[in-house]
Structure 1
Amino acid sequence: MTIIPWVIPIRLVDLLEIGLVAYLLYKLYLLMRGTIAVQIFFGILALYLIQVLVTAANMTILRALFNSISDVFVLALIILFQPEIRRVLLLLGQNPLIRRFVRSPAQEAMIGEVVAAVAEMSKRRIGALIAFERTTGLRNYIETGAELQAKVTKDLLITLFFNQNPLHDGAVIIRSQRIEAARCILPVSTSMSLSPHLGLRHRAAVGLTEQTDAFVVVVSEETGHISVARNGELIQNITVNELRSYLTEALSPQSAAETEPAEV
């Protein structure tokens, strides 16, 4: 009698699936490394191993307890790992192949309106301070200003910062391609590394980016120079084309670690 050895058939799709799962687990590990999520994960793993032992030992009361917990287990995972799930989704959104299909014409139009307004205000030396909300909510700062809920247009931005307008002081905050509020109060940076010649607008721009991941555009009333602030850093005297590049990069789907914008 001939014994045929047991062979597991392996298809190409199986290899692709293994590779994809390994890649996703690796990316998940990179996102969770150094965070409290790792400790939570090991705690959940320990509970799962205890449940396996309880089931194997046929402990009736403990098994019933674990069964009741398992009913809300998936919901608990979503709540506990909400930041990590969000970061995974942002990582997927940052993929160039996906971004090619999900590029928003409305966002490109909004960037065009902002760039045109900033270029005009720079030419006319109209001081401006425009903050863009990214992943960190800016509601606390929005509530300090006058709520607008308006579409972003060149004419509206110029009008808001015109020095005879009662709303021209403070910042305009843009969220999800809409002007949320004007005359908003931003935290002022006290960093000693900043030039003592910088005005309040520039220090407020840096101050907001020190506390959040917002992206801020500044137009100097004295010189008309355009600057941008991000991650507590102020980049001064940039061109209109550079501004468009910085804005496009900053408002694209981002992971927690920010990348440098492309050279203009």
Structure 2
Amino acid sequence: MSKFFNGLEKYIYWTSIPKMGINDIVDILIVSVMIYLIVKWIKTTRAWVLLKGIIILLCIAFAAYILQLHTVSWILSNTMSVGITAILIVFQPELRNALEQLGRKNWVTDIFSTESRQEEQEYTARTLQEISRAAIEMGKVKTGALIVLERTVALGEYERTGIPIDAKVSSQLLINIFEHNTPLHDGAVIIRNNRVVSATCYLPLSDSVEIDKEMGTRHRAAVGISEVSDSLTVIVSEETGGISIARDGKIIRHLDPQGLRDELSVLREEKGQNKKFKLWKGRNRNEKKN
């Protein structure tokens, strides 16, 4: 009987809530705030996609450990150590910017701020129409332009290199931004959730050898941003007035007005297909429950 009570006492001890002091509460709050700020920062950079990939690899490693897949476990364990060093090298600019922002931010307002990045929203027909109209008009007078439409991959790190705008998309606004000899004409415009969020943004240049030598920096920047994100970029050539679109590391050139509208309409079609797929999954789930 004494053994039974001793075992019961140990069980109650392990399942009981430990005593918490003020130091423990402060410790938990500090760690929670740190994790929140790190995740919030990651979601505005390309590191968010990398984090998803790391989570998938950890799930594979856990499954390999459970199923005793020794070869897979050996490969993952040996590549993880090298992968951490590679991550630090690849994302060195992002980490440097994060440390620079560490001393510039107002942490009190940042922690209690209710603003957060919204999920990818569908680009309205009006927004795409205004963008195509602006590109066509600028092409007629050979005004160079670079318009980036953000999708699921956040472009916060490139947005911060420009000047904040936060205005509703209109053809008149875009034409005025890229007008010659104006303060905002140099660089790219980033559009998110049907709003112009930033202008004069610097984009990464592509090193691809497949790009035609006659294309300049504007086209290489458009291809470069499409290589590191799933964005779609509209380019208007300053030399020829030709309109192009860069997407998935490729560039489509010499688009006529109808071709430009067709390429932009893909954004709405893909979003609609994703919605249909989600509705179809939900309908199947409900049918199984019934």
TM range (shorter): 0.5 to 0.7
Distance in 2, Cα, partners of 1:44 & 1:37: 10
Structure 2 unaligned spans of 5+: 1-52, 68-118, 275-290
* 1:225 positional shift: 0.3
2:225 is the counterpart of 1:174: no
Distance in 2, Cα, partners of 1:214 & 1:239: 21
Residues 190-199 or 37-46, more deviating: 37-46
Question: What does residue 60 of structure 2 align with?
Answer: 39
* 1:45 positional shift: 8.8
Give the SS at the match of 1:131: strand
Question: What does residue 203 of structure 1 align with?
Answer: 220
**What does 1:129-140 correspond to in 2, within 5 Å?**
129-140=146-157
Give the TM-score normalised by the residue count of structure 1.
0.58
2:201 is the counterpart of 1:184: yes
Distance in 2, Cα, partners of 1:240 & 1:41: 52
Distance 1:197 1:108, change over 3 A: same
The one-character-per-residue Cα deviations of 1:181-221 (angstroms, maximum 9, x if unpaired) are: 00000001111111111111000000001111110000001
The one-character-per-residue Cα deviations of 1:110-163 (angstroms, maximum 9, x if unpaired) are: 111111111100111100000000010000000000000000001000000001
Residue type at the aligned position of 1:39: I
Question: What does residue 125 of structure 2 align with?
Answer: 108
Distance in 1, Cα, partners of 2:167 & 2:159: 13
Question: What does residue 238 of structure 1 align with?
Answer: 255
The match for 2:160 among 138, 143, 153 is 143
Distance in 2, Cα, partners of 1:109 & 1:37: 43
Distance in 2, Cα, partners of 1:40 & 1:247: 40
The match for 1:194 among 211, 214, 239 is 211
Give the TM-score normalised by the residue count of structure 2.
0.53
The match for 2:244 among 212, 227, 248 is 227
Distance in 1, Cα, partners of 2:266 & 2:257: 14
The one-character-per-residue Cα deviations of 1:62-89 (angstroms, maximum 9, x if unpaired) are: xxxxxxxxxxxxxxxxxxxxxxxxxxx9
* 1:37 positional shift: 7.2
Question: What does residue 155 of structure 1 align with?
Answer: 172
Residue type at the aligned position of 1:150: A
* 1:250 positional shift: 2.8
Question: What does residue 22 of structure 2 align with?
Answer: none
Give the SS at the match of 1:237: coil
* 1:39 positional shift: 2.4
Structure 1 unaligned spans of 5+: 1-31, 47-88, 91-102, 256-264
Give the SS at the match of 1:168: coil
Distance in 2, Cα, partners of 1:231 & 1:37: 27
CA RMSD of aligned residues (A): 2.9
Question: What does residue 137 of structure 2 align with?
Answer: 120
Greater helix content: 2
Distance in 2, Cα, partners of 1:43 & 1:180: 44
Residue type at the aligned position of 1:124: V
Question: What does residue 214 of structure 1 align with?
Answer: 231
Residue type at the aligned position of 1:188: L
Give the SS at the match of 1:238: coil
* 1:42 positional shift: 4.1
Residue type at the aligned position of 2:221: A
Question: What does residue 67 of structure 1 align with?
Answer: none
Distance 1:240 1:144, change over 3 A: same
Residue type at the aligned position of 2:129: G
Distance in 1, Cα, partners of 2:141 & 2:222: 21
Residue type at the aligned position of 2:138: M
**What does 1:86-105 correspond to in 2, within 5 Å?**
none
